[in-house]
Amino acid sequence: MADLAVDGGHDTLVAAVDWGGTWIRVAAVSGGRIVRKDRRAKPKSLAEQYATVADMVLHTTSHLGQLPTAVGVGLAGVVQEGVVGTAHNLGFTDGTDIAAALRPHLPLPAYLLNDVQATALGVAARWPHGTTAVLAMGTGIGGAVVKDGSLHPGLGGAGDFGHVVIDVDGPRCPCGGTGCLEVLVSGRTLAEAANALAEAGLSPLLAARARSGRVLHAGDLQDAAQDGDSRATEILNRSAIAFSAGIRTIVATHDPHRIVLAGATLAPTTWFGRAMRAHWDLTRPHWARTELHHVEQDEDAALLGAASYALDRFTAAQSGS
């Protein structure tokens, strides 16, 4: 946790919420460090979720002798100026004002942001100066841009790198576009490719694993490539080219000091990670000085980032800026 500490305004107490599709996690953050945290399974109904979040915030901070100054809420959905556009895994419909819905349960100022943006703030605290673009690959692809420790969200969706267009003739994306980075390469896409090869009997290793009842994912596709499977190698190589093109787009639009790659598949020791970096080295602009870094996933990063965001927004509101 020390590595991810965010400079948080001395000992101001802030609550942070990581509101996911399976778990709700809450932390009390003081001086930029987590001093207490809690985790509970997400209830099904929205009313129960609001009540649970409020109860967790109050319970987590009750032993500290003070109420938090503000609450930062990171959730998996499109957040624009505090309003959630869509968050299907949480049950939110278009235009949900989460802060207003929480107010009857929790009379504290609440500030919302996307969960990847929250994680990006927590991760980027390792590099407090300059521009850091975070590119996260899990089930999908997300991202954010942080400048000198502050999030630059635009109207809310800036840094959503999963939806930069790589192939205008590519497959349709749920966002309404075609050829987005996320539909060309993501944990979901690579898992689907692994299962397709197994079902068609085109990969002995993957077929054997599928018959054993194993749920195939991106790591299995990499294992097949490492085992010499030409079809798995072709898919991963094509995906690595697409991903390096996404990096090139980030460099061309933001010219950041660094791009932080988050997610196990993007580690430099994986088959995909090595292939992607090789393609990047071949295609990077000659003027580009952006460095690539990889970070292991740390569940506290989103909490620290949400707390930092809430404290910044609260301070700005108090000063009238």
Q: For 101-154, give the DSSP string.
A: HHTTT--S-EEEEEHHHHHHHHHHTTS-SSEEEEEEESSSEEEEEEETTEE--T
Best CA proximity match to 77, nearest among 96, 102, 100, 105: 96
Distance CA 242, CA 275 (A): 11
Beta bridge partners of 162: none
Architecture of the domain spanning 2-123+299-319: 2-Layer Sandwich (3.30)
Assigned token pair, 204: 């002995």
DSSP string for residues in 39-96: EEEPPSSHHHHHHHHHHHHHHHHHTTTS--S-EEEEESS-EETTEES-BTTTTB-TTE
234 touches 225 (CB < 8 A): no
229 touches 205 (CB < 8 A): yes
Q: Which CATH code fits 128-295?
A: 3.30.420.40
2 by DSSP, 3-state: which?
Answer: helix
25 by DSSP, 3-state: which?
Answer: strand
Assigned token pair, 123: 């991760």
Side-chain-facing half-sphere of 281: CA atoms under 13 Å: 6
State residue 88's pLDDT score. Answer: 62
> What pLDDT tens digit does each residue of the chain (321 aa) get?
333 444 444 578 999 999 988 899 999 999 989 999 999 999 988 899 999 999 999 999 988 888 899 999 998 777 887 788 766 667 676 778 888 889 999 999 999 998 889 999 999 989 999 999 999 998 889 899 999 989 998 888 888 899 999 999 999 998 889 999 999 999 999 999 999 999 999 999 999 999 999 999 999 999 999 999 999 999 999 999 999 999 999 999 999 999 999 989 999 999 999 999 999 999 999 999 999 999 987 779 999 999 999 999 999 888 876
Question: Which residue ranges does the chain devote to CATH 3.30.420.40?
Answer: 2-123+299-319, 128-295
